[in-house]
Structure 1
Amino acid sequence: MKVHVLLKGYNFLFFGLLAVFIPFLPVYLGEQGLSTSEIGIIVGTGGFVTLIAQPLWGFVSDKTKTIRKVMLLLVGLTAISGYFLFNFDNFVLLIIFALLVYFFLMPLDPLTESLNFTVSEMARISYGSIRTYGALGYAILSLIAGFTMDYFGVSSLSILFVLLGLLSFGIVWFMPDVQASPKPVTIKGLKQVLRNKEMPLFLALVFISSVPARMNDTFLGIHIKALGGDTSLVGIAFFLAGGSEIIIFALSFWWLRKGKELEIITIATFFYFLRFFISGYVTNPVTLTVLQVLQMLTFPIFYTAAIQYLYNIMPKEWRATGQTVLALLFFGLSSIIASYAGGFLYKEFGGQSFYFIISAMSFIGVLFGILLTIRKHKING
């Protein structure tokens, strides 16, 4: 079987794992009696773990020049940790196993995206044609996880998580290995990346824009339940969000233009602002659920353009590490601030004010994106 076909199946399952973990961990912790501030502490600490784990495993992948073997190890340990996480209600054990899942699961994201780009270039197909299956997996498993929790209880997530992990392991096992990069890793290459004047500004834009996005991801499920919705509705919300991404990823070959990444990222950030601003006025859980279709104009556009921009400015031998840096900001460092601050804001000011605050944060990202775009055009003449 062709490697890109196997990779599509793996993307479906891996992002299904993310769908069970990221949106439903806060809901699961809430069902165990934890407050929003306590949930924020656990998720935020998970961000610290991600901050360490992603560059660590990215470095291992770059140095050993293998993605497959590293992924096999991480997928297996993720499945084991996740099984125990969703079977305990003790606060200390919840923290331990949640952090273990963060340590093993989250580094798989940049490795997977690096593999997606490498294989898409080798097979001469669009990145979006592979990543579409990830969006599909995220959407479908969000829906399944929500109904599973409602009908079989919260601990049933452990069986679903392990099943996805085992299937992912099986697919990666049969995939031929792909080197993270064909060129040798050099200190000189890393220094060239750090000397790039565009890199710090780009990373700042990603960070500013991703903090409110991560706040929404963490507390959306909790807010839907606070408005009177059930866990199934939470699943439907993330199903609509993930499902709406599919067409955007599938058509990325059409809308993604080289050299226009900053403009595209700024537009996506504007739709983040609009989405969160509208959410602040919504008091009906069903309406808030339907509103998640606006995800199609935010994350898939933002992240795909960001990856392409990063690949344009990074030396080829450091692409896997560069992808790790991007994921580190989007899912690690930003999650720390988003979780700690988000838990405090939600508890102190309530859901409505929470969404108005994160919409204002997104608007700051829009303004910064506009400034970077103007700067780019001035430099290019």
Structure 2
Amino acid sequence: MVAARLRGLNFAYFSLFALFLSFLPVYASHIGISGTHIGLVLGTGSVVTIVCQPFWGMVSDRRRTIKRVLLGLLLASVVAGTLLFRADALWSLALLVIAMNMFFMPTDALMESLNYQTSQRQGISFGSIRMFGAMGYSATSLTAGWLMQAWGMDSLSWIFLGFGAATLLLALGAADVPASSKPAVFRQLWRFVSERRTLAFLLLVLVVAIPHKMNDMYIGLYMDELGGNVRWTGMAWFVMTLTETAMFAVSSRIVKPGREGFVMAVAAGLYMLRFLLCSFVGDPLQLVGLQVFQGFTFVLFYVSSMQYLYSVVPEQWKSTGQTVLTLLFFGVSGIVGSSLGGWLFDLWGGAVLYRIMAAASAAAFVYAIFLVRSRR
């Protein structure tokens, strides 16, 4: 029953993520904001996330609860997100994006911590829970794109409100994770973060995450450049999250304990191939088709990095450790990816941007191989 409720929450929660991450750049472009300004707004929001995400993770660990902190942040997020998709000027959009990065983006780390710790306590695989989040992301990306094509971009605000209300109701019925009996001592956290192996791992995460975030933020604009529209963007996200669902379901069979570094290296190499092929497409359908790589890149890298993190982080700092991982993968990378990506897109277009992303992923692949060999 606990796992079933959490699966339902994942479906609704990641539907909200689909609306916010997938369609925000398209919505901003719709109201007349340039790619460079979109990048600056998203980058500024990521700076806010860097400050707020560790704070909420530490609040969760110190208060020994995930659910209550998550509920408060989700309530604020639903209000801010509904208003965000009614903004019609750069200043109002920027303020509400900052609010979403203050309240909504930090919930990702808490949600993933709740998923992982619940899966460990229930004796089931993390992927069997997380796959329902990918299913929600997939279904909402597809249906929202069609609905906005039929009802207009202004309907996005009401769609977000509906999914937000469902997420809050499901979160109320979710079970909290029992707190660790060990006190949360900052000295132990600092000792872990400052270790050489931890720093090497976090650097690899960052190098992989930057081109990943560029794809998240600018695939909609690249789709428009190729002659597509918001419906094609929704289709691309549907394909991405459909493959995520399948890979989350089998990830426990692929990512074995002690093999996380090798799997991360393989995923980085596949990222390189994915973005290189995307840079040579000639129409929206080809770009949509290449998104089948998502399950083999994002899921394999993310699950293996999370599994490695939970094997080495101090028990009483698991929420904060997850926060650090999420902060790099979706926060710091967002600053670089959004700001640099928007500038590159305006300067040279989508094809060149994706070739640069492929080069960054190639560097991550080489670095991952070096780490695996040196660890042996």
The answer to whether TM tops 0.5 is yes
Counterpart-to-counterpart distance in 2, 1:235 and 1:146: 5
Q: Are the aligned partners of 1:115 and 1:180 in contact in 2 as well (CA < 8 Å)?
A: no
Alignment-derived partner of residue 124 in structure 1: 123
What percent of counterpart residues are identical?
Answer: 39
1:219 paired with 2:218, answer: yes
The 4+ residue runs of structure 1 with deviation greater than 4 A are none
Q: Are the aligned partners of 1:256 and 1:305 in contact in 2 as well (CA < 8 Å)?
A: yes
Counterpart-to-counterpart distance in 2, 1:239 and 1:200: 34
Residue identity in the other structure for 1:15: F
Q: Are the aligned partners of 1:114 and 1:180 in contact in 2 as well (CA < 8 Å)?
A: no
Q: Aligned pairs, how many?
A: 376
1:20 paired with 2:6, answer: no
Structure 2: segments with no counterpart, 5+ residues:
none
Q: Are the aligned partners of 1:181 and 1:319 in contact in 2 as well (CA < 8 Å)?
A: no
Q: Are the aligned partners of 2:9 and 2:174 in contact in 1 as well (CA < 8 Å)?
A: no
Structure 1: segments with no counterpart, 5+ residues:
none
Deviations 1:236-277 (A, max 9, x none): 000000011111101122111101101100100111100000
Counterpart-to-counterpart distance in 1, 2:338 and 2:179: 31
Q: Are the aligned partners of 1:272 and 1:362 in contact in 2 as well (CA < 8 Å)?
A: yes
Residue identity in the other structure for 1:290: G
Counterpart-to-counterpart distance in 2, 1:12 and 1:297: 21
Aligned counterparts, 1:129-278, within 5 A = 129-179=128-178, 181-278=180-277
Deviations 1:211-248 (A, max 9, x none): 01111111001100111101111000000000111111
Counterpart-to-counterpart distance in 1, 2:152 and 2:286: 25
1:314 paired with 2:313, answer: yes
Alignment-derived partner of residue 45 in structure 2: 46
Shift of residue 359 of structure 1? 0.4
Q: Which has the higher mean CA deviation after the structures are superposed, 149-158 or 332-341?
A: 149-158
Counterpart-to-counterpart distance in 2, 1:264 and 1:22: 26
Shift of residue 195 of structure 1? 4.1
Counterpart-to-counterpart distance in 2, 1:148 and 1:38: 27
Alignment-derived partner of residue 64 in structure 1: 63
Distance 1:147 1:182, change over 3 A: farther
Counterpart-to-counterpart distance in 1, 2:92 and 2:14: 25
Alignment-derived partner of residue 35 in structure 2: 36
Tell me the SS of whatever aligns to 1:23.
helix
Shift of residue 11 of structure 1? 0.6
Counterpart-to-counterpart distance in 2, 1:375 and 1:123: 36
Residue identity in the other structure for 1:74: L
Residue identity in the other structure for 1:297: F
Alignment-derived partner of residue 54 in structure 2: 55
Counterpart-to-counterpart distance in 2, 1:165 and 1:298: 28
Deviations 1:29-73 (A, max 9, x none): 000111110110111111111111111110110111111111111
Alignment-derived partner of residue 79 in structure 1: 78
Residue identity in the other structure for 2:122: A
Shift of residue 341 of structure 1? 0.5
1:367 paired with 2:374, answer: no
Residue identity in the other structure for 2:185: T
Counterpart-to-counterpart distance in 2, 1:293 and 1:204: 26
Tell me the SS of whatever aligns to 2:349.
helix
Shift of residue 180 of structure 1? 5.2
Residue identity in the other structure for 2:51: I
Q: Are the aligned partners of 1:273 and 1:363 in contact in 2 as well (CA < 8 Å)?
A: yes
Q: CA RMSD in A?
A: 1.0
Counterpart-to-counterpart distance in 1, 2:193 and 2:139: 40
Counterpart-to-counterpart distance in 1, 2:55 and 2:190: 18
Counterpart-to-counterpart distance in 2, 1:108 and 1:262: 27
Counterpart-to-counterpart distance in 1, 2:27 and 2:181: 42
Alignment-derived partner of residue 295 in structure 2: 296
Alignment-derived partner of residue 278 in structure 2: 279
Residue identity in the other structure for 1:72: L
Counterpart-to-counterpart distance in 2, 1:215 and 1:156: 26
Counterpart-to-counterpart distance in 2, 1:60 and 1:92: 30
Q: Which has the higher mean CA deviation after the structures are superposed, 173-182 or 55-64?
A: 173-182
Counterpart-to-counterpart distance in 2, 1:115 and 1:182: 17
Shift of residue 339 of structure 1? 0.6
Counterpart-to-counterpart distance in 1, 2:298 and 2:180: 26
Residue identity in the other structure for 2:5: L
Counterpart-to-counterpart distance in 2, 1:253 and 1:216: 26
Alignment-derived partner of residue 333 in structure 1: 332
Shift of residue 194 of structure 1? 2.8
Shift of residue 182 of structure 1? 4.1
1:9 paired with 2:25, answer: no
Counterpart-to-counterpart distance in 2, 1:55 and 1:89: 31
Residue identity in the other structure for 1:326: L
Tell me the SS of whatever aligns to 1:177.
coil
Q: Are the aligned partners of 1:181 and 1:317 in contact in 2 as well (CA < 8 Å)?
A: yes
**Alignment TM-score, normalising by the size of structure 2:** 0.98
Distance 1:180 1:320, change over 3 A: farther
